[in-house]
Amino acid sequence: HYLGKEMVQNLIMLRFANSVFTPCFNRDHIDSVQITFKEPFGTKGRGGYFDEFGIIRDIMQNHLFQVLTLVAMERPVSTSADDIRAEKVKVLKAIKALKPEDIIIGQYTKADSPIKGDEEDSMKGYKDDPTVPKDSSTPGHPCSPSSS
């Protein structure tokens, strides 16, 4: 679902087949990249799932790391799945392992104002979802600040 988003699917073409971006989409011209996952709604009844697996395992290590590899990888030899995977693996091997002190985690609480179009769910905090245990300590908002 997330990797099926049109922009994510087009990253390879944007990076390697676009004559405007290709020459400047490299470490010599880009100082930093921020990958943000933001949804305009709460858990929508999926809190039990998120509480069991956690947002880090579900979103960060799966979806966002895929986006990271697409943004950071070198041009693959071809557009075959094996060649793209090989470049993604190179990126993942080059990343330093995160330590708990490198990550900021937390749970979101009730919003002060609703998000237009989702007034009911967007006002709830993580533990307001009836499928989330009241004593939950599962992170709902991880942040991994970049380091130089």
Residues with catalytic roles: 63
The upper half-sphere exposure of residue 91, i.e. CA atoms within 13 Å in the direction of its Cβ, equals 18
Measure the CA–CA gap between 10 and 5, rounded to whole angstroms: 9
- Of 114, 125, 129, the closest CA to residue 44 belongs to 129
- Residue 124 near residue 113, CB atoms below 8 Å: no
